[in-house]
Structure 1
């Protein structure tokens, strides 16, 4: 068994691909359009799907935003230098809404950023 991917619905595919690739350093692994059902799938990640879990960004052509709901939590990404990454993210206009620092009651250094659609991404210092 292997966890393959997590799917996020996005309102602007290009903006989301740019965020995950240029700001968080993922690679665009593959992308495909389904013209009959009017959606595009883009898979991004840090390595090949055969041995890495990736993100599936689903863009429904006729929808530009989604209600987050209250069940969704976040995805988590390990970072070599969380402070430098957060500076880079903020300089590019990203919403780092929880600055880097120790988690309450612990020593692990974390931060939180929102992607262009408002999804929470936890950054964890490796």
Structure 2
């Protein structure tokens, strides 16, 4: 029978496997489930609990930093991860020198989220940290 089984992964490109693993696994708590060398570079799969990040680190590539998607453009604007305590997670990231986009605040969409904050990963991708609304 065909039918949706669930969210699988988002494909990304990174400039630095070690910095990416340190950020997503060391600071955010994702799990490295596959790290594989290939002729075209290195492939990483990081498990976030409800889906994964598939990250390609091209061999010998001088990649540009990620560019933000403007509100007037189609595209993916940010990745979002849920935490039990956004403020505590944010403090940990800020102490580690992670680039801050927006400090923790109450969410606008209170039906879905209680608190939010925004930071950047090592490649400049915006990462949203959320604390879910009660009952979610």
Q: TM-score, normalised by structure 2?
A: 0.80
Structure 1 residues 44, 105: closer, same or farther in 2, change over 3 A?
closer
Of 85, 94, 97, the residue aligned with 2:98 is 94
Which ranges in structure 1 are unaligned for 5 or more consecutive residues?
none
Larger radius of gyration: 2
1:54: Cα distance to partner?
0.5
- Give 5+ residue unaligned stretches, structure 2: 70-74
CA separation of 1:78 and 1:105: change in aligned 2, threshold 3 A: closer
C-alpha distance in structure 1 between counterparts of 2:105 and 2:68, whole Å: 27
Higher RCO (C-alpha under 8 Å, 6+ residues apart): 1
The residue number in structure 1 matching 2:114 is 108
Within 5 Å, give how 1:73-92 maps onto structure 2: 73-92=77-96
Aligned to 1:10: 14
Give 4+ residue runs of structure 1 displaced > 6 Å after superposition: none
RMSD (CA atoms): 1.7
TM-score w.r.t. the length of structure 1 is 0.86
Q: CA deviation at 1:104?
A: 3.7
Aligned residues: 120
Partner secondary structure for residue 102 of structure 2: strand
